[in-house]
Structure 1
Amino acid sequence: FGATDSTPVVLIGPASSCSATRWVSDSAIRCTVPPGLGINTEVRVLAYNGVGALLGAFNYSSPRIHNVSTVVPAPPAPPDGPPREVTVNGESFGATDSTPVVLIGPASSCSATRWVSDSAIRCTVPPGLGINTEVRVLAYNGVGALLGAFNYSSPRIHNVSTVVPAPPAPPDGPPREVTVNGESFGATDST
């Protein structure tokens, strides 16, 4: 890199230059990595005597989830109950919107995901059941997961009504058929 400091430029990826680049010696340069996403990213050094490059030399940190919080004030729930919006808080979600994917549970992706910042993503929770459910963020720089990060709402009963016309009661009395109405019973039959 030269016997003296020639103010080299270090690029991570296609065009992101390091800030605070510091020449250490003819064989070492230190720099503060710019925000970004990617794995196996190319690193280039532009020095007075030319350009050097190494493919696949750098990996940005994978996403890390710290917690999941309900958006306050919560948007009104639709008439048939949740979905609701949550914020996934963490780090390394990307300095710009790279369309990350948020999964709640084993495979349910949020119906709407909105990148907010490198440390926050908002998503509309998919229908489902479960407590202590895993949340994952999939981005260009890997996958971040947090076990036990989300609880679906507990079932809520609004009313119980008898089926009309009521089937005839058996000769020895009840049972009769009723309908239990409410929310958060699950998007599919989990019996």
Structure 2
Amino acid sequence: MPVLENATWVLILWAAIAYLIGSVPFGLIVTRAMGLADPRTLGSGNIGATNVLRTGSKLAGASTLILDAAKGAVAVLAARLFAGEDAAQIAALAAFVGHCYPVWLRFTGGKGVATFLGVLLALIWPVGLLTCATWIAAVALSRISSVGALTAAVLSSGWMLLLARPDTLAVGLLMTVLMFWRHRQNLARLRAGTEPRLGQCP
């Protein structure tokens, strides 16, 4: 954990701001703007980039991925700019939670992969880059989105330790645990050998 330099109310304020930023449902906004099917009616039923891709639009999927990552990065960078490192780490976790459980959609959101990558890129960019590379490599080798996400989440903590940033480990581990919880159905399908590959529906 970072040294807590801000008053509790400041950290709570930035947690709330970051949560609201993370709650913006870009998957739903993008598909509606492009006249596509509601992603909540497809595949896994969530609003993340992988499920948006099931609308048949690669542009929509890519746009959702970028915007979901960007909102996480914006939350972290804004908190760091105005309140410092402790607020940035609180904001990272809050933005991630906001994406997974958005207040605007009755707390039913995405699985957090893009936002996870975005907050890591803003929080510690070398760790973010290594985690992105891990995600890309794991997806390329397995052709399974959830394998890439979970592999990247697990190894992100290792990258933090390797790059001598143990102060971020608590936040990283909390996000990793939540990532696994959000992917619990994927894990069940992986154990059963029924997890779909990219381009397939579950």
TM-score under structure 2 length normalisation? 0.23
Structure ranking higher in strand proportion: 1
Structure with max Cα Rg: 1
Q: Which has the higher contact order (CA 8 A, sep 6+)?
A: 2
Structure ranking higher in helix proportion: 2
